[in-house]
Amino acid sequence: MSHRPDARTATVSLFAAASLIGTVALSSCAAGTDAVTSQTRTTTNTVSGAIGTISLRNLYVAGPATSGGKAQVISAFFNGGTQDDQIIQVASPVASGGQAPVKAVLRPGGSNIYIADGNAPTLTGLNRDLLVGQAVPVTFTFAKAGSITLSIPVEPPAPGASASPQPTAATLPTRAVGTTASTATTTAGSPTSTPGSAAGTTPTP
C-alpha cells in the first residue's frame, strides 16, 4: 500500500516555506535602504522663532566655516505688525562681530528672505571652526521688537540657497551710447523673488 502525505501537513509546510522567503526578501530590502540613508543627508535642519510681531523662520548657518572667517545665516523674516521694523544687530559667542543684512527694514505684512549671496545676516570674525551638524547661539536685535536668541544648526547651503553676490551699480558693465539698458529688481537674498509676493512664500531657486 502506497503512503500519501496528509493534505494538512503539506499545506503547513508550503506556508512555512513562503514565510521564510518573504522574511529574507524584506531583510535584504531593509539592509539596502539603511546602507543608502546612513550616508546621505536628505533634509536641511532649520529652526524658527518669534518675538513681538516678527517671525523668524527656516534659519540655519551656512557651513562649514573656518575660524577667522565668516558665516552667513540663511533665513526668512516676516513682519506681522502694522509698522516698519529693522534688523539692527546680529551677534554670537562664536564670533567677534556681526553684520546686519543689506536689506534690513522689515515692512508691515511683508517678508525678507535671505540666502548666502553676501546680503544675508552674517557672523564675522569666527573664533572657532563651525562644522556641519553643530548648533550655535545667534542673537538678532530688532529696532522695535527687541532681541531673540536661537540655537541655529550649521548646515551646507541647500540647492538654490546660495549665489554669487549681485553686482553693484559701480561694477555693472558700461553700455554703448544709443543702447537701451534694462533694470532687474530683486528682493534681498532672493534673486527670483517677485515684488508683492505674499508673506510666507518661498522663492524659487
Instruction: Please give the domain boundaries of the chain with CATH numbers for all domains.
Output: 47-157 (2.60.40.1890)
CA nearest 49: which of 190, 145, 164, 175? 145
DSSP 103-125: S-EE-TT-EEEE-BSS-S-EEEE
The pLDDT value given to residue 20: 44
Residue keyed to cell 573656518? 66
In Å, what is the CA distance from 93 to each residue of 74, 98, 157, 163?
A: 18, 10, 22, 27
Q: What is the pLDDT of residue 5?
A: 52
Residue-level pLDDT at 63: 96
Q: What is the pLDDT of residue 1?
A: 53
Angle at 86 between CA 83 and CA 89, to 5 degrees: 155
Rounded distance, CA 78 to CA 117, Å? Answer: 20
Side-chain half-sphere exposure of 67, counting CA atoms within 13 A:
3
**What does the pLDDT read at residue 120?**
97
The C-alpha atoms of residue 190 and residue 203 are separated, in whole angstroms, by 6
What is the rounded (10 degree) CA torsion for 186, 48, 43, 204? -20
Q: What per-residue confidence (pLDDT) applies to 4?
A: 54
**pTM (predicted TM-score):** 0.61
Task: Give residue 170's pLDDT.
Answer: 36
Distance CA 18, CA 157 (A): 48
Task: Please compute Rg for the chain using Cα positions.
Answer: 27
Query: Which pLDDT tens digits describe the chain residue by residue (205 residues)?
Result: 555 555 555 544 544 444 444 444 444 443 333 333 334 455 789 999 999 999 999 999 999 999 999 999 999 999 999 999 999 999 999 999 999 999 999 999 999 999 999 999 999 999 999 999 999 999 999 999 999 999 999 999 988 787 644 443 333 343 433 433 333 333 333 333 333 433 344 444 4
